[in-house]
A and B are shown apart, each in its own frame.
Chain A
């Protein structure tokens, strides 16, 4: 069964600290993996998208890594800001028709002052 599991479910950190969010998937065959940020009550916004041949991609203070062999990905946030408080969702896509996205439940991150 194609699944995407994220951990932790929720996380609280202090402003300025770093954190790492985890994503494990069982989607096969695999095409690409995305990380989205979703603010409460808003639509998701893409942070990174990686194909199976890429093992790291950065977007400002966000760095995603991918290990296609172990089917694991992580999202590292550096020097967190209050505006980083949101849900971070890992999404895995199979090949071909790109509508076949498997969504994780997300990690809810709260950055406190």
Chain B
């Protein structure tokens, strides 16, 4: 069976500090991978999307970046965090050839920028 892991679960970082969130998927090959952010009182916002190693699509301009160094590893980074980066970050995967387009979510990382 497939599983998706995210860490850390919670993180408190000062403004201007760097960020690295990691997501890994097990039990599947060549998944589509996604990073979402869920701010308080707002719907999920797609940040980045990847269909393969080294292939990253950015949905919104911001001070965040994403990388996919391995097939089942997706990393979200920032060089300098802003207060507005606070939120609940979710990683998700989908089977690239699935007609159901189902997305499966990880447990999330709660980021608080102080």
Q: Give chain A residues whose Cβ lies under 8 Å from the Cβ of B27.
A: none
| B108 and A43 within 8 A (CB) | yes
Docked complex Cα distance between A41 and B42 (Å): 14
| A99 and B43 within 8 A (CB) | no
B103 CB to closest chain A CB (Å) equals 8
Asked if B1 is at the interface of the complex by the 8 Å CB criterion, the answer is no
Docked complex Cα distance between A42 and B110 (Å): 10
Knowing A101-B46, A105-B41, say if A41 contacts B101 (CB, 8 Å).
no
Q: Give chain B residues whose Cβ lies under 8 Å from the Cβ of A49.
A: 100-102
| B43 and A98 within 8 A (CB) | no
Q: Give chain A residues whose Cβ lies under 8 Å from the Cβ of B45.
A: 103
User: How many pairs of A and B residues are in contact by the CB < 8 Å rule?
Assistant: 47
Q: Give chain B residues whose Cβ lies under 8 Å from the Cβ of A45.
A: 105
- Within B21-35, which residues are at the interface with A (CB < 8 Å)? 32, 34
Asked if B74 is at the interface of the complex by the 8 Å CB criterion, the answer is no
Q: Give chain A residues whose Cβ lies under 8 Å from the Cβ of B101.
A: 31-32, 49, 93, 98
| B 78-114 binary contact with A (CB < 8 Å = 1; else 0) | 0000000000101010100000111111111010000
Q: Give chain A residues whose Cβ lies under 8 Å from the Cβ of B104.
A: 46
- The residue on A at minimum CB distance from B96 is A98
Asked if B15 is at the interface of the complex by the 8 Å CB criterion, the answer is no
Most buried by A among B44, B45, B90, B107: B44
Docked complex Cα distance between A89 and B108 (Å): 16
Docked complex Cα distance between A32 and B102 (Å): 10
CB contact between B110 and one of A41, A93, A98 (< 8 Å): that residue: A41
Knowing A93-B101, A105-B41, say if A98 contacts B106 (CB, 8 Å).
no
| A41 and B43 within 8 A (CB) | no
- The residue on A at minimum CB distance from B57 is A99
A49 CB to closest chain B CB (Å) equals 6
Instruction: Give A contacts to B, CB under 8 Å.
Output: 4, 31-32, 41-46, 49, 89, 93, 98-99, 101, 103-106
Selected A-B contacts with CB under 8 Å, 15 pairs: A31-B101, A42-B107, A43-B107, A45-B105, A46-B102, A49-B101, A49-B102, A89-B44, A93-B101, A99-B46, A101-B46, A101-B103, A105-B42, A105-B43, A106-B43
